[in-house]
Structure 1
Amino acid sequence: MPPRRAVTGRSQEPRQRFVEELRLLRAQKGDSLRQLGEALGWDWSLFGKMEGGQTLGGPEVAQALDQYYGTKDLLLTLWELAAGDPKQFRERYRRYMTLEAEAVSLWHFGVSTVHGLMQTEEYAHAVLAVGGANGDELTRQVQARIGRRELLVGEDAPPFRTILSEAVLRTSLADTEQWRKQLEGLAEAAERPNLTLHVLPYDSGPHGLVSTDVMFLRLPDGRTVAYTENAHHGELIEEIASVERLQRAYDAVRDLALSPAESRKFVMRMLEEVPCEPST
């Protein structure tokens, strides 16, 4: 069993340290990338990209490597440090934004918030402020998010499907008038030819994306990539097997969701429940 080294050893940059450890452990084992892929059941190219610093893979991959190398939770710990590094998060998000602009079709599941491509300015402001942005930085982030909505407008706009958990539609803004505008915006968007809206009711039961916001992008070269996100972390996933697992979970969720027609009725019912502001 390779000796476990202190997390603070060698490179102090989390992602680089993770890469160094992956390379060293495979060299000690004497495996080729192809042999490693065959042993663990993943495409060997994933491990090549991880060792080249192009992707972190996912926590399940790091855990499998720990088991294979007998390193307890060393690689998983390093993966968590690298994934939580703000600089790396920004780099991954910038790459996601580039791919989003190139996508020929998009599909999404939202567990807690409306996707940025369908947010009103006031809703975006509230969500980003809760995330810690303020002042000029908050203003810049809101404007950047609102600008992204242009992606879904025009004759050449790509098709976009979104499934929203019922929780999204019941987590209202403090300002009821602004919440009304967001619901109206969803209802109007559902009428556009390139947009499809589904609602996943509470009574649908447990499912494979119960705690995961995910966006899929079909790219011009035929590849599909996924971006998963929660309040503290986002991950761009390009490895084929991982994307396919997420896609199967998404398809199962779509089967549980209301039809587009029933979903629009659901949104209209939510609108009816929004209190009217007293006239002055």
Structure 2
Amino acid sequence: MPQRRAVTGRSQEPRQRFAEELRLLRTEKGVSLKDLADRLGWDASLFGKMENGHTLGGPEVVQALDQYFGTAGMLLVLWELAVADPSQFKERYRRYMSLEAEATSLWHYAVANLPGVLQTPEYARELLASSGLTGTELDVQVEARMGRRALLLADAAPQFRTILSEMVLRTPLGSPEAWRAQLEHLCAVSQRPNITIHVLPWSAGLHGLTNADTMFLRGPNGQTVAWIETGYSGELVKETAAVDRLQLLYDRVRDLALSPHKSRQLIGRLLEEAPCDPSI
């Protein structure tokens, strides 16, 4: 394994540190971007963007780089730090992001928007843009959100259950094709053994979680905490009695929701009904 370099100056920033390490490792090995692309099968431009800090890439390419350079997982660790860098998120999400990354299981309820871990890039971009983000900041936030999707796609991914209010599925994107791609993505991930999707129909009426997105995170120590978000603020609930009350509300909402099978059927029907882009 190459000698570890001291972390100084700008390299203390996780994103910059990751890009710097990639450049130095490739330079030390004496290979070009094209050589790297030919050997690993990804486009040379991707490696160039990663070395320039314009993109972080995905976990698969980082694992391939770790193997190629013989860095025993060091690059993947740096990538994870860069993806979870709190500077890419509002300060109030810092602790939540840490708990999400460590969770062994997650239970979620969505009022109006899909959870970030199930969003396509197009969905994330339109949603984040609607909150006022633009330009480079928007690109960084979309990329960071896409990095969070890897949480559910890894080999040892945690169990994830979400209950989607029907409103979530009745609020399409501006682009018909992007909306179809999002519905197709939901159909695909619902087949994964670690992901369960329920739909709560409008006919269920009012319930205890009507006004707030809710996420329960079970940590490796067996403790469960809850994150409650209204869209304008978020609160981490750790007190056992409060978490228990919220879980009781969640269980009641789950009782009102469609089964995973019927939920997949509903998403499939919405996909069939979704309009196609007339320009295609």
**Same fold by TM (over 0.5)?**
yes
One-letter amino acid of the counterpart of residue 224, structure 2: T
Moved over 6 A (4+): none
Provide the secondary structure at the position in 1 that maps to 2:197. strand
SS of residue paired to 2:132:
coil
Match of 2:154? 154
Aligned counterpart, 1:136: 136
Q: C-alpha separation between the residues in 1 aligned to 2:272 and 2:259?
A: 20
- 1:185-244 deviation per Cα after TM superposition (whole angstroms, max 9, x unaligned): 001010001000000000011100011100110001111011111221111111111111
Shift of 1:139: 0.7
Q: Describe how 1:1-280 pairs up with structure 2 within 5 A.
A: 90-278=90-278, 280=280
Mapped to 1, the partners of 2:231 and 2:128 lie a distance apart of 10
Counterparts of 1:265 and 1:237, CA distance in 2:
34
Q: 2-side partners of 1:213 and 1:274: how far apart?
A: 25
Number of residues of Structure 1 aligned to a counterpart in Structure 2: 193
Alpha-carbon distance in structure 2 between the residues aligned to 1:170 and 1:242? 32
Q: Is the 8 A contact 1:93 1:236 kept in 2?
A: no
Contact between 2:175 and 2:277, CA under 8 Å: does it hold in 1? Answer: no
Shift of 1:277: 2.1
Q: Would you say the 8 A contact 1:105–1:160 is kept in 2?
A: yes
Shift of 1:96: 0.4
Please say if residues 131 and 231 of structure 1, whose CA atoms lie closer than 8 Å, have aligned partners that are also in contact: no
Measure, in 2, the Cα distance between the counterparts of 1:230 and 1:135. 26
SS of the residue 2:96 aligns to: helix
Instruction: Quote the residue 1:11 is aligned against.
Output: none
Q: Is the 8 A contact 1:105 1:158 kept in 2?
A: yes
C-alpha deviation, 1:279, in angstroms = 5.4
Aligned partners of 2:209 and 2:249 also within 8 Å: yes
| Amino acid of the structure 2 residue aligned with 1:142 | V
The one-letter code sitting in structure 1 at the alignment partner of 2:192 is R
Q: Let me know the Cα RMSD of the aligned residues.
A: 1.4
User: Which ranges in structure 2 are unaligned for 5 or more consecutive residues?
Assistant: 1-86
Contact 1:166 1:199 in 2 (8 A): yes
Distance 1:92 1:244 in 2: 23
- Give the structure-2-normalised TM-score: 0.67
In 2, Cα distance between the equivalents of 1:243 and 1:132?
33
2:13 aligned residue: none
Secondary structure of the structure 2 residue equivalent to 1:171: coil
What SS class does the counterpart of residue 220 from structure 1 fall into? Answer: coil
Distance of 1:96 and 1:217 partners within structure 2? 9
Q: Secondary structure of 2:144's partner?
A: helix
Q: What does the per-residue CA deviation read over 1:89-109, in whole Å, with 9 as the maximum and x for residues that have no partner?
A: 933311100010000000100
Structure 1: gaps (5+ residues): 1-86
1 CA distance for matches of 2:128 and 2:227?
Answer: 18
Distance 1:241 1:225 in 2: 11
Contact 1:92 1:236 in 2 (8 A): no
Q: Which whole-Å CA distance do the structure 2 matches of 1:192 and 1:222 have between them?
A: 24
Q: Check the 8 A contact 1:123/1:173 in 2, yes or no.
A: yes
Please report how far the alpha carbon of residue 154 of structure 1 lies from its aligned counterpart in structure 2 after TM superposition: 2.5
- Superposed CA deviations along residues 28-70 of structure 1, whole A, max 9, x for unmatched, are xxxxxxxxxxxxxxxxxxxxxxxxxxxxxxxxxxxxxxxxxxx
Query: What amino acid sits opposite 1:268 in the alignment?
Result: G
TM-score w.r.t. length of structure 1: 0.67
CA distance in structure 2 between the aligned counterparts of 1:90 and 1:277, rounded to whole angstroms: 35
Report if aligned partners of 1:116, 1:124 keep a CA contact under 8 Å in 2: yes
Give the SS at the match of 1:207. Answer: coil
Deviation at 1:270, TM superposition (A): 0.7
* Contact preservation (8 Å) 2:102, 2:220: yes
